[in-house]
Amino acid sequence: MWCQLFSEPGAGSDLASISTKAVRVEGGWRVTGQKVWTTVAQFSDWAMLIARTDTEKPKHEGITYFVLDMKSPGVAVRPLREMTGSALFNEVFLDDVFIPDELVVGEVDGGWKVARATLAGERVALSQKMDAYASDKDLLRFARSRELTPVGRHELGVLVAESQAIDLISARIVLKQLSGADVSTTSSVGKLLGMGMGQKIAEYVVAQLGAAGVVSIPGQPSDHAMEQLIAGRATTIYGGTTEVQLNVIGERMLGLPRDAVTGLRAAGAAE
């Protein structure tokens, strides 16, 4: 089991602003800092970690990518309780943790390039359907269990059609990745659409149920509807926020200009 030690309390969407430091020592590095929103850290054997190894360089430089044994002395994991009652995410504290030289991935101070490749892979994975979040499987299971109004059937058809289209986009992204192509931008499209689709499905089911949507009845097709609705909000943030994905798509795919002050697209601001 692996986890990803990237985000920090002061560096989430602006990931290159990380402050966790790695200091060179004999045979390796000593790492000190804090990571946050780390999925399944409490169960993980290994971690992918980025830390700052040169504070004098620009923020996208001076970052090194490490593999960390989560059983190393100085690693402490603290669960973060969510609205659903679960604790999938965690804070991870690194107190003078030793990492040997052989666990550096890529070049020292060149970890940003490796981190971007990891993030692209993460977005490819997030564009796929996951059991933890609402999918068209949940949607169809629900639809078969009740009589829908004509409007409800129309909305159902729209969701199924959109979901199938997103599946096709996701398959294309995976094929591009397997062929060795750069999917750093197209994976943002997949993540943005895939996570939004899960939210739409959960919202549809809860809306169809009305007041009954807030009640969980084990064994019923709607038993996880409200939980999926609440849990699905996190997908707007993790793996790169919606705003970050839109920036990536706008700048790298559509060639839109970047506003140096606000980070908003100049064309979007004009509208």
The CATH number that applies at residue 64 is 2.40.110.10
Question: Has residue 90 been placed in a domain?
Answer: yes
For residues 88 and 130, membership in a common domain is answered with: no
Question: Among all chains, which residue has been given the structure tokens 């040169």?
Answer: 54
Domain stop point among 59, 87, 109 = 109
* Domain encompassing residue 134: 116-240
Q: Are 191 and 126 in contact (CB under 8 A)?
A: yes
Q: Is 74 left (phi over 0), alpha (psi -120 to 50) or beta?
A: left
pTM above 0.75, yes or no: no
Query: Quick check: helix, strand or coil at residue 8?
Result: strand
In this predicted structure, what is the pLDDT of residue 238? 77
For residues 104 and 149, membership in a common domain is answered with: no
In this predicted structure, what is the pLDDT of residue 258? 81
Question: Has residue 192 been placed in a domain?
Answer: yes
61: nearest Cα among 103, 97, 114, 11: 114
For residues 30 and 75, membership in a common domain is answered with: yes
Where b means 16+ CB within 10 Å and e means fewer, 189-218 reads bbbbbbbbbbbbbbbbbbebbeeebeeeee
CATH code of 167's domain: 1.20.140.10
Query: Per residue of the chain (271 residues), what is the pLDDT tens digit?
Result: 999 999 999 887 788 899 999 999 999 999 999 999 998 999 999 999 999 999 999 889 999 999 999 999 999 999 998 877 778 889 999 999 999 999 999 999 999 999 988 887 777 777 676 666 788 888 998 898 888 999 999 999 999 999 999 889 888 888 888 888 888 788 888 888 888 898 999 999 989 888 776 665 555 555 677 888 888 888 887 777 888 888 888 988 899 988 554 444 333 333 3
107 is catalytic: no
Question: Has residue 266 been placed in a domain?
Answer: no
**Rounded to whole angstroms, how far apart are CA atoms 14 and 164?**
32
* Annotated catalytic residue within 8, 102, 122, 243: 122
Question: Has residue 255 been placed in a domain?
Answer: no
For residues 85 and 124, membership in a common domain is answered with: no
Q: How far apart are the first and last CA of the chain?
A: 46
For residues 120 and 194, membership in a common domain is answered with: yes
Number of folded domains that form the chain: 2
- The type of residue at 108 is V
Question: Has residue 68 been placed in a domain?
Answer: yes
In this predicted structure, what is the pLDDT of residue 88? 82
